[in-house]
Amino acid sequence: MNESIDFYVPIIDNYWDIWFALNLALLMISKNPKLIIRFFSDDEKLFNKMVGNNKTNIQFHNLSDLNNQIPSKTIFTFFDYKLPDDYLKKWEKWKTIIQFWYFLLHKKVENLHNTTYEIDWNKFIHFIPSLRKKTGWIIIQNKKDKRLKTKEEFLNYINEKYNLEISKNLLNKKWISVFVYKNTLDELIEAIQERKNEVFFIFDTWNGIQNIEYSLQEEKNIIFMPFLELLDYNDFLSVCDINITRWENSLCTSLSLWKPTLWDIYKENNKAHNEKIYDFLEFLEENKIQEIEYAKTLKNFNLKQKKEAFVDFLDNFENNTDLFQDLWIYINNNCDLYKNLKKIF
């Protein structure tokens, strides 16, 4: 790969808009320590909060200062970001611009991925992250690459790093990470309180849960988590027994780690989320890794009765062992985004 790459990453809705790009940047740096990535975005404080001390080879630049910078030969753009025409025309030197789209699972993306066109001195390449074989694939969190191997090691690590007091008595319970949208959490919190054999690590509590007292006492089964750095959150998914996620990047990370995973998909005003759910289930069926009960649970969790589907998933997730094993095998054999990306430039 080239020794310098520019990432252009606007923050459109919230901090999850840069999560995928930073995850990719950190992965590329780990594979090629000589690589320098110039990361153009909108919020330096958020960038620093996400990457912590892992930003040695990732240089933040404000996206508003783009015109003052000479572009690298290779550019990655994210989330439909359109480079200004006057900026591109300013530099009469060939550049490769890889345009990353959002995660998609419908069949048509196989025809769009890797299509190219040229304008002036620029070659544009569409890159679509997906689980489908003829697409760009996904960022894999390989078990062999884990920095921490056991719950106890990770617990010691986050207690010290984030000044927490999570008791080791919780090591004997099932760990369940919960990172869902506020409306979903409001519907689930009563069911979570009633369960005593699991401990629930709840993220993004800045939205507020008024009826739950913050507590880290060992007899409680709810722990409100602070904001974790990106790599720490990935590692946290790897030590949990079950993950309830709300974004595609976390979904893919959890599945690539062989974890039972329930997806709280973002509900769009145009009902596009309905199609995304059915695209996911169709993908599973086509690759013969669909379980009828899991499909029913996923649809109910997103479209009907969240609480009932959530409880059913927790009570019966072990019945879907083959499904998550098959997904893990499929992903690790077919879906390595980094390997695919190296073929392009």
Of the pLDDT bands very low, low, confident and very high (cuts 50, 70, 90), residue 210 is very low
Helices and strands counted in the chain (H then E): 13, 12
DSSP string across 287-315: TT---HHHHHHHHHHHHS-HHHHHHHHHH
- The angle formed by the CA atoms of residues 5, 6 and 9, to the nearest 5 degrees, is 140
pTM: 0.91
pLDDT number for residue 320: 82
Res 152 pLDDT > 70? yes
**Average of per-residue pLDDT values in the chain:** 87
Q: Which residue has the tokens 């240089």?
A: 59
Which residues pair with residue 268 across a beta bridge?
none
Three-class secondary structure of residue 200 per DSSP? strand
* 209 vs 303, more confident: 303
Sequence-separated (6 or more) residues with CB below 8 Å from residue 335: 131, 133, 137, 138, 140, 256
pLDDT number for residue 259: 94
Res 272 pLDDT > 90? no
* 341 vs 121, more confident: 341
* 310 vs 345, more confident: 310
Of the pLDDT bands very low, low, confident and very high (cuts 50, 70, 90), residue 145 is low
Query: Averaged over 329-337, what is the pLDDT?
Result: 92
Q: Which residue has the tokens 């904001």?
A: 227
pLDDT number for residue 322: 87
pLDDT number for residue 90: 79
Percent of the chain with pLDDT over 90: 50
Query: Averaged over 5-33, what is the pLDDT?
Result: 87
Res 208 pLDDT > 50? no
Query: Averaged over 210-238, what is the pLDDT?
Result: 75
Three-class secondary structure of residue 173 per DSSP? coil
**What digits encode the pLDDT tens for the residues 67-86?**
888 889 999 999 888 888 88
